[in-house]
Amino acid sequence: MVRVAILGATGYSAKEAIRLLLAHPHAQITALTTRQDDLPHLGDVHPSLRGRLDLRLENLNAAQLAERADCAFCCLPHAASAEVIKEILPLGMRAVDLSADYRLNDPAVYKKWYDHDHPDAARMAKTVYGLPELYRERIPKSQLVANPGCYPTSTILPLAPLLKAGLISPDGIIVDSKSGVSGAGRTPKLNFHYPEANESFSAYGVGTHRHMPEIDQVLSDFGGKTTEVIFTPHLVPMDRGILTTTYSTPTKPVDAATILAELRKFYANEPFVRVVDGLPTTKDVTNTNYCDLTARVVRGRVVTISVIDNLIKGAAGAAVQNFNLMYGFEETTAL
């Protein structure tokens, strides 16, 4: 049995991680942390989990965490997560980091996009990017895995195989993503307030969203050629889910059947990627760890459409998937 601590247990991703791990036959949640002054019971923070786990959220230092847990699911904000991780790893703990702290390899790029120096810069380039469909062989021996962002997951999964196969050009890729409000986290903000977000549809972070360098880095690494996308996220008035549409230029004349065949070949043995003929919707994957995706060719451009649940495949579900690989459990356990 692997003892698990959930760091930053008040948020939406933490709630989903707890819910999934409670059904995991090889995991035992032994600690929940908060940076708040009060130490509430889990059932008061997440009422849907009342009666399922009798633990309070606590302020625990690194030594206390290492004594009580073998692995940490870090659901803390960026910078705060790295501050904790750099202390618990030398004590023998393993970690799946759901923040953005270890997704980027270059400290200078991190500083440009996050406006501060990285607290644990030396570890950045050594950390495995936890997208099993691309980097599965690197995950099992890792002490620390960087869980991918939700938007990058929905973007990388349809594009990476096509770049790897040389079917699309790495230049001029446009990514258009729409996310439910839970993607912004649980901390109240004016533009996510119900009267502001309901019955409205808005773009944000145009050219400045922090997931853009993450997408560029992974596609460049996996595809073998420098790739820079134009990424535009949108806020949709629904609780959860992401739908991402990408537009790219084929390297030679191609039809949709060829693109779909390549995607099906690449994901033939992947338990959580489903290549579908029809147009997928966010409801098709709600509360699951699946990514459903498809492709079309429209006026000489390759168009892909993918959907995920931003809190599961885009966060907690992917973290459990990585946890399973790290400890040698069946990858689909609890998912």
Q: Mind telling me the catalytic residues? A: 150
DSSP assigned state of 101: T
Block residue for tokens 């145009």 = 206
| Separation CA 116–CA 270 (nearest Å) | 37
| Closest by CA position to 266, among listed 247, 289, 241, 291 | 291
| Separation CA 3–CA 266 (nearest Å) | 34
Q: What are the structure tokens assigned to 139, written together?
A: 């995950």
Q: What is the dihedral of CA 88, 3, 149, 33, to 10 degrees?
A: -70
Block residue for tokens 């601590």 = 5
241 backbone φψ class: left, alpha, beta (φ>0; ψ -120 to 50): left
Q: What is the dihedral of CA 221, 225, 226, 231, to 10 degrees?
A: -80
| Closest by CA position to 98, among listed 231, 7, 222, 211 | 7
